[in-house]
Amino acid sequence: MNQAQLIRSIEQQLENLMLFDEDLAYEYECDLYYDCNEDEEPQPIVENFTPELLTKLEKVVNEYDND
């Protein structure tokens, strides 16, 4: 999986998590994106997007989904 695919996969898991826990999803987003001014989209901090994070987010989402 290349970096762009990894980022997209993590973003998808964040969207899934948002359905269950908006605050937790927001906390992850704060750690994963640079703050930009009002006119720009937040930019990913590429080095924070790791396969380990994807695995962790998948587990968190699955836990919520199974409850």
pLDDT tens for each residue of 18-64: 999 999 999 999 999 987 666 788 889 999 999 999 999 999 999 99
What six digits make up the tokens of 10? Answer: 């993590």
Mean pLDDT over each residue of the chain, to the nearest integer: 92
Rounded distance, CA 59 to CA 55, Å? 6
Residue 51, pLDDT score: 97
**Number of domains the chain contains:** 1
pTM for this entry: 0.88
User: Exposure string (b/e) for 28-50, b if CB count within 10 Å is 16 or more?
Assistant: beeebeeeeeeeeeeebeeeebe
Query: What is the residue range of 35's domain?
Result: 3-66
